[in-house]
Amino acid sequence: MSLLLVVAACSSPGRGTVTVETPDRSVSDLLARLDRRCTDIVTTDLGEGTLCADSGFRMGTDGFAFANWGRSPAADDNISLQTMIDLFGHSAVCLPGDESSCVMRPRTVQQLDEWNTAIANGRCEGMAALSMRLFLRYDLPSDYSERAATATELDRDDPGLSRSIAHWWATQFLPEVADVARQSRLRSPLEIVDDLIVGLANDSGQTLGMYAGGSGHSVAPFAVTERGGSYVIHAYDNNHPGRRTEIIVSPGNEWSYAWGTGPGGGTVDWTGSTGTLELTPMSARMGPFTCGFCTEPADDADTTVTVTSTDSSRGLHVFVDAGDGGTLEVFGSSVVSTIDGATVAFGKSLSSVPVAAPSVTVSLPAAILEAGIELRSAAAGAVTSASTILVRRAGQPDLKVTGAGSTGLVGATRASNPVIRLLENGAVVRASADRGVGVSVAGETNLDCRGRRQPCHRRTRCRPGRQPHDRGDIQGWRRFARGQHHGGARTRTREEHGARGGRRAADPHVLAGCATEGVPGRPHADDTHDGGADHRAGHCHAVDHGADDRGDTPRLMRTAASPAATQRKFAATPDMNAE
């Protein structure tokens, strides 16, 4: 058995370069180096101790006066189509056409929905990153409000501010940023302190990620002091505006953080060691960025299963049954696996409870061809929050299930009733008897309805698009397109943007293989489909994400632009992110 437990996240380049030295062979050597970096200067406004490094960032001017929050009622203040275009470029996320409008590629629709589910659990990463950008003057408070001279004077409702926070929040998921954070997590807590001291001296604009059990959080570190043999990282915590917070790193190479008051009224302390702290410099957020969801996974790529809860206070309980390949179970901080080579990553959230993991990504080796994915509860009929499951695997379309609830019970040794059963050439989605789910499918090539442009309707049989991307089994695709029935429970597919019944989103978009073009269509007699999309207008197109018939090739890398300076062209679809 082998399980690698990793953690993953809830710009302009720095003015200097962070130099990361070879890891020390002994803690004593590292402590000696830190002692040389620190001074005998007694601090006056950072509590007891002597100064090691101080950027000058202070709560009264440089931190936001409002607290971290989740999803906003206004769709444009969350992750919008414009966010995706700012990050990756029009041609990567939209179908070929006039850049003054956008018909989203199918995978863009799925990713947009996944990120907006995740941001409901808090946007700490975005607040930490943007506060650092404002402090280092990469962005200006006046970009958002003429009356504001400092970050503290900004209001959450200032035009564009929430949108920019969402933009920088999303960067944590981009390969260029995630890879830097992942490498940083290989460093011990004392090495993180050493790297931070160097970064503060170089104005690197680092954010600090902390993980405890199944939860994660991001803060903006701005100073390091030495106190009684331990090292204190002073930070702006966006969950506690106006208050300087401290992460204590002991000579024993462990850290602790007094989070504050927990849900039950008691004090919550986070603790950890190597693998639970990360530093991300602003240079990692500069770009250009790779659009990781825009292309087909490599043939030997892991299968990734990302489960995101809509309620950050409730911990996810995920069970993966790979048959003879073993099983994997995640609940809060507990991970038990017999699947060789599997990895688990946790997301960041608003919750102070270490066991309330709002987002979990399980990576399964490519050799695992079939597996059941089950969400579990402690007892039959127990109330569980709705979850979104997104599956990416080589040679298969991306599969997303929304509104999924628990279908299994804690303690069972096998997944007898999985929400998703992955097959070698397809998948089966199951809904509980009392809860419908939404299902969408998106591949590198959009579904091509018999090679002709024709209206999409519930009887349409779609096949994979033209070669060379047709690597899936036809019957497997039809399982996706038609949906499945199990024990009388219907698998309900609805529009990605939340429209139901006769209501249709106004913006053009692509849904489960059909690109709507705003052309009035005749409503179906029955708007509950056996799979397919709940369309009111549209036609099926062959959409090649590598290049279309006109030779337009999507740009898969995009240099980051400050959202504050970007002229917005695309509003979010109405009702897409409404609470």
Q: What are phi and psi of 224, to 5 degrees?
A: -135, 130
Q: How many CA atoms lie within 13 A of 290 on its CB side?
A: 10
**For residue 218, what pLDDT is reported?**
95
> Quick one: which of 282, 45, 81 has its CA closest to 166?
81
State the virtual CA torsion across 181, 183, 186, 188 in degrees, nearest 10: -60
- What does the pLDDT average to over 421-436? 86
Range with lowest mean pLDDT among 11-20, 209-218, 537-546? 537-546
> Quick one: which of 295, 292, 300, 289 has its CA closest to 547?
295
- Residues 206 and 199: their CA atoms lie apart, in Å, by 7
Q: Report the chain's mean pLDDT, rounded to a whole number.
A: 74
User: Could you write out the three-class secondary structure of 316-370?
Assistant: CEEEEECHHHCEEEEECCEEEECCCCEEEEECCCCCCCCCCCCEEEEEECCCCCC
pLDDT reading at 157 higher than 60: yes
List, in sequence order, every residue forming a beta bridge with 5; answer none if it has no partner.
344
- What does the pLDDT average to over 307-333? 84
DSSP annotation of 560: -
**For residue 264, what pLDDT is reported?**
56
**For residue 352, what pLDDT is reported?**
55
Range with lowest mean pLDDT among 58-62, 72-76, 168-172, 351-355? 351-355
pLDDT reading at 456 higher than 70: no
Length of the chain: 579
**For residue 24, what pLDDT is reported?**
45
- Residues 93 and 573: their CA atoms lie apart, in Å, by 15
Over the stretch 41-72, which tens digit does the pLDDT of each residue have? 998 899 999 999 999 999 999 999 999 998 88
Write the CA distances from 352 to 213, 230, 269, 275, 469, integer angstroms. Answer: 11, 24, 9, 19, 45
> Quick one: which of 279, 291, 310 has its CA closest to 14?
279
Residue 550 neighbours by CB distance under 10 Å: 7
> Quick one: which of 324, 321, 317 has its CA closest to 409?
317
pLDDT reading at 170 higher than 70: yes
Whether the model pTM is above 0.95: no
Describe the crossing of helices 106-118 and 81-88 by its angle, rounded to 10 degrees: 110
**For residue 203, what pLDDT is reported?**
96
Decide if 214 contacts 202 (C-beta within 8 A).
no
Over the stretch 130-142, which tens digit does the pLDDT of each residue have? 999 999 999 999 9
- Residues 285 and 272: their CA atoms lie apart, in Å, by 26
- Residues 321 and 337: their CA atoms lie apart, in Å, by 10
Task: List the structure tokens of 236.
Answer: 């702006």
DSSP annotation of 86: H
In this predicted model, which residue has the larger pLDDT, 578 or 234? 234
Decide if 291 contacts 557 (C-beta within 8 A).
yes
DSSP string, 91-146: HHHB-SS-TTS--B-HHHHHHHHHHHHHGGG--HHHHHHHHHHHHTTSS-GGGT-T
pLDDT reading at 275 higher than 60: yes
**For residue 95, what pLDDT is reported?**
92
**For residue 7, what pLDDT is reported?**
39
Let me know the angle formed at the C-alpha of 277 by 273 and 279, rounded to the nearest 5 degrees. 150
- What does the pLDDT average to over 272-288? 94
Write the CA distances from 104 to 50, 147, 227, 500, 554, integer angstroms. Answer: 54, 37, 54, 19, 12
Q: Give kind and range of the element (H or E) at residue 265.
A: none
**Helix, strand, or coil (residue 21):** coil
**For residue 25, what pLDDT is reported?**
55
State the virtual CA torsion across 472, 474, 480, 486 in degrees, nearest 10: -120
In this predicted model, which residue has the larger pLDDT, 225 or 464? 225
**For residue 381, what pLDDT is reported?**
61
**For residue 382, what pLDDT is reported?**
61
- Residues 158 and 144: their CA atoms lie apart, in Å, by 6
Write the CA distances from 191 to 33, 212, 505, integer angstroms. Answer: 10, 19, 50
Residues with Cβ within 8 Å of residue 300, at least 6 apart in sequence: 366, 394
Let me know the angle formed at the C-alpha of 313 by 308 and 314, rounded to the nearest 5 degrees. 60
Handedness of CA 180, 182, 185, 187 (dihedral sign): negative
- Residues 319 and 462: their CA atoms lie apart, in Å, by 32
- What does the pLDDT average to over 429-451? 67
Over the stretch 492-515, which tens digit does the pLDDT of each residue have? 333 333 332 332 232 323 223 333
At 467, the pLDDT band (50, 70, 90 cuts) reads: very low
**For residue 455, what pLDDT is reported?**
32
At 313, the pLDDT band (50, 70, 90 cuts) reads: low
- In angstroms, what is the C-alpha Rg of the chain? 24
What are the sequence ranges of the domains in the chain?
Answer: 12-285, 296-436, 445-545
Range with lowest mean pLDDT among 2-11, 147-156, 468-477? 468-477
